[in-house]
Amino acid sequence: MLMPSKQPRLERRATADCGNGMRNGRGRPMKHFNELKPSRKDRTLQSSIIHKQLTAEIETPKEASALEILPVEIIEQIFFDCLELNLPRASPHLARALSRRSIYSALVLLAYFEVDSSSHVETRHFLPAAFRVIGRDNQRRLQEDILRTRWCTLDLLQSCMPALTRLTMVRLWHHQKEKIDRAKEEMIAERTDNQESFGSDIVQPDFDSILPVLDDQSSMEKHFNLKAAMLPNKQQDQTASSVTSDEYLNSFIETSPDWGVQPPWANHHLPTWTTKSIFAVYVIPDNIVLRNPWTDTDMKLLRLLIQGIRPEGLGDQGVPSFQAMCDGMANAIQEGNTKALRVLVDLYNTIGGAGQPLPLSLLHLACQQTTLPIDLQCRMMLQLLRNSATFAKIVVADDEILLRWALRIASSSPSAHHVRVARAVLLAMGMKTQWRHPVES
């Protein structure tokens, strides 16, 4: 007997919940999502929030310290007395009190003005600071601290050049005035004896016309032969009214340590004149040469510091580390920045090569920058080749990387300039007679 198929009961069919879209089947009914127990992490976070809301109290304003409640003028004088550049970082109030451009300019003048205890100084240029001689060691420390701050910019340093120029000229003017006064006394004492030897026609020079009027700025600049940069005279005339040149960064004056007034019968003796920067640099920290990427401002700042280096005060502590200079050169090579590489090589040569030759890895790095044009590679190699004595110490005759690069450039480049660079590399490797350009064959 055939039985009819068994039909499921209607009450067991899964029905849809219109509210949450979940099906009610067998077993324990499912809860809505918002009815589920939160995770342990959520419960902990929620309890901490509730605890903070319940225990939170109105925060009382922080009581100002004894230093912060002082007048701004006294805070400034304390800052100039201690010359601790970390003081503005102690609190926002001190930072606001010590964040004026005039304060920064006074610090730059104290750090870079070359002066001794016997110098005459126009102290008005240092306001709001009270001028005092801080010594070379403190100047070196202050320079390093300044160059590590964010407010020390090329624009700020160059804005201090007129004041530094005036201070330097006044100091030298008084120095020469003292020598003139001594020369007067010596000439008066020796006049009688020399008249007996050379006759009575000796005319005493006009001492008052030797030095310009102290308040005549143009005459002072002409007397000390003020220059904008150490350039040939024609080039100086062309760049005197423009600050766009990379070399137009520093100010230089002519001075003579042994300058003195010579009597008329000793005209054959001429004083030795030297050109000196008015920007006295005693330290160049590592952060100045470790730039990545190198910008025009970075290069000009480093050039400014190089032009003002005082070898007698630089010492071993004032130069950047050899590794920092090499890393800076490597960054410039990877960027293809020949100007930055040139400035760094100038620094390397100025400080005497830091006592050791450049590493061979820099030359290899310049050769292996295949993404750069050949002309750029050759210019970088020329910068590294400038010190031939140092180059000869690090290059070996069987260096495969340099040899392959030089032969490739010499055989494939149509430029005569590129060929000369390749020849220079081969010459440094001692292979001049072993290779000839195909055009010459």
Residue 35 domain-assigned? no
Residue 197 domain-assigned? no
Q: What is the pTM of this model?
A: 0.72
Residue 374 domain-assigned? yes
pLDDT at 441: 37
What lies within 8 Å, CB to CB, of 166 at 6+ separation is 122, 125, 217
pLDDT at 205: 58
Residues of the chain with pLDDT under 70: 1-4, 6-25, 56-61, 190-209, 228-250, 254-273, 353-355, 387-394, 396-397, 431-441
pLDDT at 375: 84
Which residue carries 């020849």 as its tokens? 423
- Burial (CB count within 10 angstroms: exposed 0-12, middle 13-18, buried 19+), residue 26: exposed
Q: How far is CA 70 from CA 66, 91, 104, 230, 326, in A?
A: 7, 14, 20, 47, 47
Helix (H), strand (E) counts: the chain: 19, 4
Domain with 316 in it: 286-440
| β-strands 274-277, 15-16 pairing | unpaired
Of 110, 139, 159, the position where a domain reaches its end is 159
Of 123, 142, 159, the position where a domain reaches its end is 159
Would you say 274 and 254 are in contact if contact means Cβ atoms under 8 Å apart? yes
Residue 15 domain-assigned? no
Cα first-last separation, the chain: 115
Listed residue (227, 268, 221) closest to 247, CA to CA: 227
Q: What are 77's two structure tokens? A: 């004088």
pLDDT tens readout for residues 222-245: 888 887 643 333 344 444 333 334
Q: What is the largest CA-CA distance in the chain?
A: 168
pLDDT at 60: 57
CA pair distance 227, 250, nearest whole angstrom: 8
| SS3 of residue 277 by DSSP | strand
pLDDT at 75: 93
180 φ/ψ angles, rounded to the nearest 5 degrees: -65, -40
Residue 190 domain-assigned? no
Residue 191 domain-assigned? no
Residue 145 domain-assigned? yes
Listed residue (241, 98, 225, 252) closest to 164, CA to CA: 252
Residue 102 domain-assigned? yes
pLDDT at 186: 74
What's the chain's length in residues? 441
Of 137, 159, 181, the position where a domain reaches its end is 159
When divided into structural domains, the chain yields a total of 2
Q: What are 104's two structure tokens? A: 């920064």
CA pair distance 341, 331, nearest whole angstrom: 9
- State whether 155 and 290 are in the same domain: no
pLDDT at 299: 93
Listed residue (196, 107, 195) closest to 148, CA to CA: 107
CA pair distance 439, 441, nearest whole angstrom: 6
CA pair distance 168, 255, nearest whole angstrom: 10
CA pair distance 229, 206, nearest whole angstrom: 32
pLDDT tens readout for residues 171-195: 988 888 888 888 777 777 766 665 5
